Structures are given as C-alpha cells and as structure tokens.
Amino acid sequence: MPMPTATDVRAFIPARDFALSKAFHAALGWEVRDVGPGIALVTIGEAQHFYIQDYYLREVAENSMLHLTVDDADAWYVHVQRVLADGRFPGARVQRPALQAYGAMVTFVHDPSGVLLHLCEWR
C-alpha cells in the first residue's frame, strides 16, 4: 500500500481575547478570517497558515511559539513597533532583532495572549 501524503501543517494558538488577537494579526498585515465558531484562519503570503482559537490557558499561551521565515528581521521590528505604537494591543511587545546561535537574525514578537512569534531572517 502506498504511503499517504501530508501537504500542510497548521498550528492552533490560544487567544485570551479572541477579537483582540484577530485584530493584532490583521494589523501585522496578515489575512484573518473566521472559519468556524471560535476559530479564525490566519494566512501569511500565499500558502502559510495557522489558526487562532477562542480558548486560553496561560500555561499553553506562554509556551506556544511560531517560527516564521521573513526576508528582513530589522524591517519587521520597525513594522511591529508601528503596529504597537498606538497602544491598541495591551500585552503585545517586540524585541530588537538579535543573531541567534543557530544562524538566524530573529525579531521576537509576543502577541496579546503571550504567544511568541519568531520572525527569522536566515543569514
């Protein structure tokens, strides 16, 4: 029997405030659309996706991480700073890009629920 194939991996991340989480990811420039009760699909570019769920456990949120490959970690840092400048997203924060031991320049972004986004530029 042939091996079945898999074509996509999509993580589910928790949201302390579902509407705020969706607004935050949309403000980053990503498409966010409701796909079911308490579930929103976030699309980055043409083929990268993850789900935001209307579910929250602090221990889960603060131990959830998403790695996103980007073309310019410095530009993303500036972009996220602008998104956060008006204070609409309490709890969200961004750290200056830093070179990591594994070879990527990374801008760390904490979303309003505490989920950590690794915006990685491979050098």
Q: Is the pLDDT of residue 46 over 90?
A: no
CA-to-CA distance for 22 and 20, rounded, in angstroms? 5
Q: Is the pLDDT of residue 8 over 90?
A: no
Q: Which of the four pLDDT bands, split at 50, 70 and 90, describes residue 47?
A: confident
Give every CB contact of residue 85 below 8 A, 6+ residues apart in sequence.
none
CA-to-CA distance for 109 and 28, rounded, in angstroms? 11
Number of Cβ atoms within 10 Å of the Cβ of 106: 23
pTM of the model: 0.94
